[in-house]
Structure 1
Amino acid sequence: MEQRWKRIQFGPRAKQISLFLLTLFIVGLSLNLFGELNMASGPFGLRLNFSWGWPGESRLVIPPLGEIKVYSHRWPVVLSATLERIDLPLLQHELIGVNDTSLYLESLLIELRTNLYWFLAKLCLIGGLAGLFGAFLLGRRRFANLWRMAAVGVLSVLLIIGGVLAGFDQEAFQNPRYEGVLAVAPWALSLIEQGLDRLPEFSAKLAEVAGSLDTVFAKVNTLSPLANVEGEVKVLHVSDIHNNPAAVEFIEKVIAGFGVDLVIDTGDLTDYGTSLETELNRKINNLGVKYLFIPGNHDSEEVVSRLRRYKNVIVMTKRIYETNGLTIMGWPDPASTGTTSLMPGDEELMAEAEALRAYVEAADGKIHLLAVHNRKIATPAPPGIPLVIHGHTHQPGITLEEGTVYINAGTTGAAGIRGWGNETIPHSVALLRFNLKQGEYHLAAVDLIRVFSLNGKFILERTVLNQPANHGGVENSRGEE
């Protein structure tokens, strides 16, 4: 009996079964560990991934917004595609002259299908190598055993993928599940769907904006003339871009047209505070002038981290920075640190205002300009602050209160992608002109520029301050077309 038991336990068939099962285990483990492929489909960078999981599903991962999941098959396999990047300039370039975006999408799908074949080939290669490893592990190193186990690995992969495809339910994609931020705001899908449909129109409207700006540059000399001075510094105040790539094009043209020395952005570059959104406006890195950024309530530490990598960007998080003869202080919105809600309450804003005031009082030297996102944390302005610039409300304007000038740039992104098609919301910026008097810079004038992209209309309003002609008062002049 004992000999028979040993024969059953250690016989050739038992060894073959053990080898087969071990090979399958190694193949499955290898697929889980190494089953991924980085690929590009046009302007979209994706990472494909194979893993085991129940129930079987397909996932689109948009970090860190969340995931879109679909119960697409019955096999215990999770197929994931992670969106790593969107090359928006490339997307715009490829859509130039495209009238039917469905044809463009079809070309992307063909490219995606080719990459899926490569992904399948890699999985088969992993399966074959795992089979070889299993054979080596058990000492089965004869050529016949090696190729047989490699074949077992490849066939196992084909069987798994074939099983997934055989029961793949395409109709399941009509009822996706959202997790993370996407559960309450599936903006990524609407961005792709609406953006692709409207990008040709969007590019045409952007050309109209450029034409309007050329008219703005010509009209500026008809406004209230400024005294001829030396050492003028031009600071462009922008705010609330909200993921609109047209805003950076707008900023770029204003910089070139007016000879801007410095850009200050008072926040809300993004909507959800993700690095993926920051990629939509990465041309900031190529503006050619310093770009001071004050985080808004829609920004985040992740956005700040990404912007710090740009060579021309200085992130102003509770700091004082000297440049172009100006001493500038930047104070971030408390929501940008992630320690409070998206819309901080009055108590939180009051506490932030007190902290700001204490910081200013402890600072040495004169501060020419205080930049914040939400004006509430700088109202009233700390003692000695002659100028406060801000955004948040999307309402451009200039006010003088208790000796302090408040400037709101409005929304340079025309309320962002969500504002596309709204004719009442302009792209707006404020151009601050500083003059050097007796060794000190003073704000001499502000040019408030509004451009309505859908109808080509523009409004240019100049406010003159601290001029001898009006003894330090305010004089407004306006150009409109």
Structure 2
Amino acid sequence: MAAAEPFRHLVRTPRPWARALGLVTVVLFGAWLGLLVVGNVRTPVGPMDTTMTLRPSLTGGTKINIAPLGALELDSHTAPIRLDVDVDRLDPVRAQALVQHPERISGLQEEITHDIEHGTLDLAVRSCAAVVVGGTTLGLLVYRRPRRALAAGGLALALLAASGATAYATWNPKSVLEPKYSGLLSSAPQVVGNARSIVSDFDVYQEELARLVTNVTKLYDAASTLPAYQPDPGTIRVLHVSDIHLNPASWPIIASLVKQYRIDVIIDSGDTMDHGTAAENQFLDPIKDLGVPYVWVRGNHDSVTTQKYLRHFRNVRVLDEGRAVTVGGLRIAGTGDPQFTPDRSVVPGGDASERLAGIRLASAISDQEAAGTPVDIAVAHEPVAARETDGTVPLVLAGHVHHRENEILKLGTRLKVEGSTGGGGLRAVQNKHPEKVLASVLYLDRTTRRLQAWDEITLGGLGLTTAEVSRHLATENQPAATPSPTPSGTGRSPAP
């Protein structure tokens, strides 16, 4: 028994370095538990609801998680703590407000800065409380001595304060310009582009195009070098638009065309949206104020949610699965795109699914013919589907490819493909050479309901503030020869 006394003495009195190591372990583990349990803050940042959290880290920095798209990392600071920001959801009310009022984007940076400062302050206060509570509680459980537990809590607070001071001293605000992307966001630099140039240039883009379309149309009406065809007041005038892709500048342009050309019917061959989410729906509300019937088919960027929303508009006729309607004296049948692939996250069905949709549309048109209600115009989003209606209808309209095509198919049907009336979408304005805004006015004889001529309206994109209108004749059911050019407005659109 006496021989064991020296060993008991060693067990009861640990060496100072072992006690210090044990205390540090308790402090770190307790602080981590405190941050994990209560050290997060839910705060709005612009149109997003986020959760901010501090985490122990060897390298520091900031990580922004955007489920399910991926994450981006910023080399914002060097310290043993990392800031995690989880984007929980996009608030539909705040997002819709931005879609409806793009001018608010100019103040978004200041709003986001204020939100982040407010959230960071809340996070700092909550984190201090979390590490003190975590360190003290674990210290009390391990040592069962209040004084030792309070020492653990104080040390945890001191470590957090030192980490915060280090992060502040090494803060790098330029890190936001060089983020590291992961997941689907790895393509974000190419997809999103320079947001600052979009914001600063969009107002000019929208105002100039809206003015140009009005002024050039007046010049066009007064020109004397047009082809011989002159539409009489009884002519049915159809405005064909396509691939607006969530560009709000398209609506004033369309409204101007409706007024200037006295349009009877608008036909939209799809891809009005970008992702087809419910948050985008209010972008469509200006359609209600256009004052004419709006015939629409679903594109591969338009969802069933988008389609259901449009069905509630009095002036909208949604066509799908070969449905036919009589609008403005014309019988029109159409089908939505069978594929919904806004970001190619779903494996597309390819041309086979498009051909099948076109065959079903052609069958529905033939049924209409047998019932004594022949179809005058067919509409599909994809030209591949539209081609399957050859021989069943005089005219078929499509979009999707963002450029114009005009072709007489083998069995006599004319295929007209419209380019992008949204100039490829709002994000396209930041490109070095923006896409042009394209639309067409179709003139159909009210008696025969056959295409007589059409005007192609082309508006330059941002930095290309030009507009031109060219007339084409549907002589002998053949594509018009090289049309006589009409005067086109160029430059800054002076008052007419």
TM-score above 0.5, yes or no: yes
Residues 445-464 of structure 1 aligned to structure 2 (within 5 Å) = 445-453=453-461, 454-463=463-472
Q: Which residue is equivalent to 1:390? A: 398
Q: Which residue is equivalent to 1:67? A: 71
Note if contact 1:219-1:479 (Cα within 8 Å) is conserved in structure 2. Answer: no
Note if contact 2:74-2:178 (Cα within 8 Å) is conserved in structure 1. Answer: yes
Deviations 1:280-333 (CA, angstroms, capped at 9, x unpaired): x9543223254624314xx265xx535644554776564525362533212316
Q: 1:79 aligns with which of 59, 74, 84?
A: 84
Q: Which residue is equivalent to 2:359? A: 357
Would you tell me which structure has more strand in proportion to its own residues? Answer: 1
Note if contact 2:362-2:389 (Cα within 8 Å) is conserved in structure 1. Answer: no
| Equivalent-residue separation in structure 1 for 2:250 and 2:178 (angstroms) | 35
Note if contact 2:390-2:412 (Cα within 8 Å) is conserved in structure 1. Answer: no
Which residue type is aligned with residue 225 of structure 1? Q
TM-score, structure 2 length as denominator? Answer: 0.66
Q: 1:292 aligns with which of 289, 296, 318?
A: 296
Note if contact 2:270-2:302 (Cα within 8 Å) is conserved in structure 1. Answer: no
Q: Which residue is equivalent to 1:320? A: 323
> Aligned with 2:253: secondary structure?
helix
Q: Which residue is equivalent to 1:329? A: 334
| Equivalent-residue separation in structure 2 for 1:339 and 1:79 (angstroms) | 26
RMSD of aligned residue pairs (Cα, Å) = 5.3
| Equivalent-residue separation in structure 1 for 2:345 and 2:30 (angstroms) | 50
Q: Which residue is equivalent to 2:12? A: none
Q: 1:414 aligns with which of 423, 445, 450?
A: 423
Measure how far apart 1:68 and its partner are.
1.9
Instruction: Note closer, same or farther for the CA distance 1:360–1:110 as it changes in structure 2 (3 Å cut).
Output: closer
Q: Which residue is equivalent to 1:144? A: none
Q: Which residue is equivalent to 1:215? A: 215
Is it true that 1:92 corresponds to 2:103 in the alignment? Answer: yes
Q: Which residue is equivalent to 1:375? A: 383
Residues 64-463 of structure 1 aligned to structure 2 (within 5 Å) = 65-72=69-76, 73-80=78-85, 82=87, 84=90, 85=95, 87=98, 90-92=101-103, 108=109, 112-113=113-114, 115-121=116-122, 124=125, 164-165=167-168, 168=171, 170=173, 173=176, 175-187=178-190, 190-196=193-199, 198-199=200-201, 202-219=202-219, 221=221, 224-229=229-234, 232=236, 234-242=237-245, 244-269=247-272, 274=275, 279=280, 283-288=283-288, 289=290, 290=294, 292-296=296-300, 299=301, 301=303, 305=305, 308-309=308-309, 312=313, 318=321, 320=323, 322=325, 324=327, 326-332=331-337, 334=339, 336=341, 348-350=350-352, 352-361=354-363, 364-365=367-368, 366-401=374-409, 402-416=411-425, 417-418=427-428, 425-434=435-444, 436-437=446-447, 442-453=450-461, 454-463=463-472
Deviations 1:427-448 (CA, angstroms, capped at 9, x unpaired): 110123455438xx55454332
> Aligned with 2:341: secondary structure?
helix
Deviations 1:408-427 (CA, angstroms, capped at 9, x unpaired): 22222334444657679531
| Equivalent-residue separation in structure 2 for 1:88 and 1:399 (angstroms) | 37
Which residue type is aligned with residue 67 of structure 1? A
| Equivalent-residue separation in structure 1 for 2:241 and 2:467 (angstroms) | 17
Identity of matched residues, %: 17
Note if contact 1:237-1:265 (Cα within 8 Å) is conserved in structure 2. Answer: yes
| Equivalent-residue separation in structure 1 for 2:321 and 2:277 (angstroms) | 25
Which residues of structure 1 form unaligned runs of 5+? Answer: 1-16, 96-103, 139-147
Deviates more, 1:415-424 or 1:426-435: 415-424
* Larger Rg over CA atoms: 2
> Aligned with 1:413: secondary structure?
coil
Q: 2:52 aligns with which of 49, 54, 60?
A: 49
* Corresponding pairs, count: 439
> Aligned with 1:87: secondary structure?
helix
> Aligned with 2:407: secondary structure?
strand
| Equivalent-residue separation in structure 1 for 2:177 and 2:464 (angstroms) | 37
Instruction: Note closer, same or farther for the CA distance 1:208–1:151 as it changes in structure 2 (3 Å cut).
Output: same
> Aligned with 1:448: secondary structure?
strand
